[in-house]
């Protein structure tokens, strides 16, 4: 028996496009001699469909795709994920289902039992969990069909569920575990899933095939990296990251060949590639070609410019340099040098005349109060207006350049430098942005060295430095990581040896700036805990604040 895995880049809600893609993959799999072709979780509608699932019409269209795929399942069987209706009145109206299609018909349907409802996942919002488990027979083999999370109650110390779906199937003596997935990328996910898949293979002693979605859906990136695991726990194959692919495997070879391959999983390299895919898919799926961004001469906007050039082409990225009276000469020069290195179009619009016009208009109302946050924010907001004006005029999307450290502590201006359609670096701590810059420069200078080595500054008042009002980033980022990614409280973090005052101040800043993040651009998620849909905090709360 030969099994094809098709890790494809679906588009949420684009039933026609997704179906077309799958039918082409069915043809490719046939050419590769496959008996069965496997698609990811919820492939008909794309993952995550979110509240589109509440529309009857949406579910009908998914059903229509299944019919069309069943028709195509002649001479080859198809395993594919799709939402399906729960015929019982009690409980949620839908299941998250894996269909097994053969010779024009639905041969078998297995629903998902473990419904992730944490971080970015909301599956219990929509789906009823499976309570029945049956294998499907195909070409003399019994296949334990499962969906994504169904494998994930093993291999961790704190299982989230009281059921282990494959335990329920084992009395039927399956020969193979087939898992249809849509597992979001984070820089540690590729390692984790190998760990979890191996835990399953060790427990059941049969091979495991895992096919994952590829592509970015707003903030959530899927990396592909589909896996074939032999019964001895060796990785028989790991499909490419961040690329669509259709590959066919022989079941006997998986059992007996002994092959063991794994791709490198360097954190910064993975983040780099994920962000490029995230930008590319955001533009292509929204039907936009061109980006605009403000180049400050600082590190964050430099890294975003490089990633954008790699994602959509340097000719599609327009840069705006908007120096103020507080900008140092080197800022403009550094920004210009970067734009030249990248071969990008750039324009310079000094903001001083606009700043003065606003101060003139506001003078009677400011009542002679000294220069302060209002004046700092004013500069950032004038810049926001300027880039948005060009964005609106020429139909390009503003890329936001905020990093995770500053978004965490609220070191950014709402409606100013927080503007943008997509936030590229807001899940990358400042210290990681430095690493990204080094990675980008590893084969030759693209980002001018001065941009990397000079002390970070918002340049909104004379001689300002980030470290005037924030702890040094190498300390701050560690504290933020413990609080955000690891959900450690103040006492635990202080016990790790960090200064109590610094810790309490950092956590307080995170909590009181929730109102800013509520209005932030969507953040490309590359860590296990990103700001946005996966982190849900009260704006009005009185905890550590």
Decide: is 519 part of the binding site for a second copy (CB under 8 A): yes
Which listed range, 73-81, 86-94, 95-103, 189-197, lies at the site for a second copy (CB under 8 A)?
86-94
Give the dihedral of Cα atoms 148, 154, 155, 157; nearest 10 deg.
Answer: 120
CA distances from 434 to 120, 296, 298 (A): 27, 16, 11
Query: Considering only residues 85, 93, 106, 141, which one is a binding residue for a second copy as defined by CB under 8 A?
Result: 93
Decide: is 536 part of the binding site for a second copy (CB under 8 A): yes
Query: Considering only residues 490, 498, 503, 527, which one is a binding residue for a second copy as defined by CB under 8 A?
Result: 490
Decide: is 371 part of the binding site for a second copy (CB under 8 A): no
Decide: is 491 part of the binding site for a second copy (CB under 8 A): yes
Which listed range, 100-108, 143-151, 195-203, 365-373, lies at the site for a second copy (CB under 8 A)?
365-373
The SS3 call for residue 290 is coil
Report d(CA 175, CA 321) in Å as an integer. 61
16-45: contacts with a second copy (CB under 8 A): 17
To the nearest whole angstrom, how small is the minimum distance from the Cβ of residue 355 to a second copy?
10
Contact 268, 432 (CB under 8 A): yes
Report d(CA 203, CA 205) in Å as an integer. 6
Contact 200, 59 (CB under 8 A): no
156-185: contacts with a second copy (CB under 8 A): 157-162
Nearer to a second copy, 297 or 384 (CB): 384
Decide: is 63 part of the binding site for a second copy (CB under 8 A): no
Query: Considering only residues 4, 35, 36, 48, which one is a binding residue for a second copy as defined by CB under 8 A?
Result: 48
DSSP-assigned beta bridge partners for residue 208: 177, 229
Report d(CA 543, CA 352) in Å as an integer. 41
Report d(CA 525, CA 428) in Å as an integer. 9
Query: Considering only residues 118, 257, 340, 499, which one is a binding residue for a second copy as defined by CB under 8 A?
Result: 118
Nearer to a second copy, 53 or 169 (CB): 53
Report d(CA 2, CA 297) in Å as an integer. 54
Task: Give one DSSP letter per residue of 422-454, joined into a string.
Answer: EESSTTS-HHHHHHHHHHHTTTS-SS-HHHHHS
Report d(CA 315, CA 251) in Å as an integer. 47
To the nearest whole angstrom, how small is the minimum distance from the Cβ of residue 10 to a second copy?
10
Which listed range, 69-77, 240-248, 345-353, 429-437, lies at the site for a second copy (CB under 8 A)?
345-353
390-429: contacts with a second copy (CB under 8 A): 390, 392-393, 414-415, 419, 421
Report d(CA 337, CA 341) in Å as an integer. 6
Decide: is 117 part of the binding site for a second copy (CB under 8 A): yes
Decide: is 125 part of the binding site for a second copy (CB under 8 A): yes
State the catalytic residues: 41, 112, 148
Nearer to a second copy, 171 or 540 (CB): 540
Decide: is 81 part of the binding site for a second copy (CB under 8 A): no
List the one residue out of 418, 452, 456, 459 whose CA is nearest residue 436.
452
Decide: is 384 part of the binding site for a second copy (CB under 8 A): yes
Contact 204, 175 (CB under 8 A): no
Report d(CA 144, CA 136) in Å as an integer. 7
Nearer to a second copy, 194 or 321 (CB): 321
To the nearest whole angstrom, how small is the minimum distance from the Cβ of residue 95 to a second copy?
13
To the nearest whole angstrom, how small is the minimum distance from the Cβ of residue 484 to a second copy?
10
Decide: is 362 part of the binding site for a second copy (CB under 8 A): yes
Beta strands (DSSP E) in 150-244 are 176-181, 208-212, 214-217, 220-223, 227-229, 235-238
Query: Considering only residues 30, 74, 92, 504, which one is a binding residue for a second copy as defined by CB under 8 A?
Result: 92
Q: Scanning the structure block, which residue is given the tokens 């961040």? A: 242
The SS3 call for residue 397 is strand
Nearer to a second copy, 212 or 488 (CB): 488
Task: Give one DSSP letter per residue of 34-59, joined into a string.
Answer: -SEEE--TTTTT-S--GGGGG-HHHH
Query: Considering only residues 23, 245, 349, 502, which one is a binding residue for a second copy as defined by CB under 8 A?
Result: 349
User: Which residues, other chains included, contact 91 with Cβ-Cβ below 8 Å and sequence gap of 6+?
Assistant: 128
Which listed range, 5-13, 70-78, 257-265, 465-473, lies at the site for a second copy (CB under 8 A)?
5-13
How many Å separate Cα 52 from the centre of its chain?
20
Decide: is 347 part of the binding site for a second copy (CB under 8 A): yes
Report d(CA 21, CA 27) in Å as an integer. 10
Decide: is 541 part of the binding site for a second copy (CB under 8 A): yes
Strands 208-212 vs 235-238: parallel, antiparallel or unpaired: unpaired
To the nearest whole angstrom, how small is the minimum distance from the Cβ of residue 533 to a second copy?
8
235-294: contacts with a second copy (CB under 8 A): 281-282, 285-286
To the nearest whole angstrom, how small is the minimum distance from the Cβ of residue 362 to a second copy?
6
The SS3 call for residue 394 is helix
To the nearest whole angstrom, how small is the minimum distance from the Cβ of residue 230 to a second copy?
29
Nearer to a second copy, 159 or 258 (CB): 159
x/- contact string, 435-474, with a second copy (CB under 8 A)? ----------------------------------------
């Amino acid at each position: 028996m030969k099994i094809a895995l098709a890790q494809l880049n679906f588009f949420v809600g684009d039933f026609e496009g997704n179906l077309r893609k799958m039918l082409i993959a069915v043809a490719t799999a046939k050419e590769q001699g496959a008996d069965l072709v496997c698609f990811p979780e919820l492939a008909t509608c794309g993952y995550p469909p979110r509240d589109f699932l509440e529309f009857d019409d949406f579910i009908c269209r998914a059903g229509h795709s299944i019919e069309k795929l069943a028709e195509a399942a002649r001479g080859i069987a198809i395993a594919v994920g799709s939402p399906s209706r729960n015929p019982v009145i009690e409980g949620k109206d839908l299941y998250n289902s894996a269909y097994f299609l053969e010779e024009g018909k639905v041969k078998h349907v297995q629903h998902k039992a473990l419904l992730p409802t944490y971080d970015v996942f909301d599956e219990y919002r929509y789906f009823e969990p499976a309570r029945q488990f049956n294998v499907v027979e195909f070409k003399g083999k019994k296949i334990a069909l499962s969906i994504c999370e169904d494998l994930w109650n093993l291999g961790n110390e704190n299982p989230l569920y009281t059921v282990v779906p494959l335990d329920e199937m084992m009395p039927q003596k399956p020969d193979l575990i087939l898992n249809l997935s849509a597992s979001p990328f984070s820089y540690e996910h590729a390692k984790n899933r190998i760990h979890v898949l191996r835990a399953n293979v060790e427990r059941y002693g049969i091979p495991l095939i895992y096919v994952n979605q590829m592509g970015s859906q707003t903030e959530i990136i899927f990396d592909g990296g589909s896996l074939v695991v032999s019964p001895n726990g060796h990785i028989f194959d790991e499909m490419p990251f961040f690329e669509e692919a259709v590959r066919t495997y022989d079941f006997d070879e998986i059992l007996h060949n002994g092959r063991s391959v794994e791709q490198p999983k360097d954190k910064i390299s993975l983040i780099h590639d994920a962000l490029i895919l995230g930008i590319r898919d955001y533009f292509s799926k929204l039907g936009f070609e061109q980006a605009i961004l403000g180049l400050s001469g600082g590190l964050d906007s430099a890294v975003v410019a490089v990633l954008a050039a790699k994602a959509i082409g340097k000719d599609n990225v327009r840069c705006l340099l908007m120096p103020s009276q507080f900008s140092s000469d080197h800022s403009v020069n550094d920004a210009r040098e970067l734009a030249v290195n990248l071969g990008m179009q750039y324009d310079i619009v000094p903001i001083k005349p606009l700043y003065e016009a606003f101060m003139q208009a506001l003078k009677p109302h400011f009542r002679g109060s000294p220069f302060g946050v209002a004046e700092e924010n004013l500069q950032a907001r004038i810049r926001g207006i300027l880039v948005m004006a060009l964005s609106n005029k020429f139909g390009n999307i503003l890329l936001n350049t905020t990093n995770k450290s500053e978004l965490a502590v609220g070191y950014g201006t709402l409606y100013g430098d927080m503007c943008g359609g997509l936030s590229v670096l807001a899940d990358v701590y400042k210290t990681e942005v430095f690493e990204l810059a080094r990675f980008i420069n590893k084969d030759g200078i693209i980002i001018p060295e001065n941009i990397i080595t000079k002390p970070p500054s918002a340049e909104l008042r004379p001689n300002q430095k980030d470290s005037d009002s924030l702890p040094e980033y190498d300390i701050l980022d560690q504290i933020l990581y413990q609080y955000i990614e690891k959900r450690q409280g103040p006492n635990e973090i202080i016990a790790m040896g960090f200064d109590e005052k610094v810790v309490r101040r950092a956590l307080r800043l995170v909590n009181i700036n929730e109102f800013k993040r509520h209005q932030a651009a969507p953040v490309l998620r590359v860590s296990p805990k990103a700001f946005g849909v996966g982190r849900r905090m009260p704006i009005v709360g009185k905890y550590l604040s």
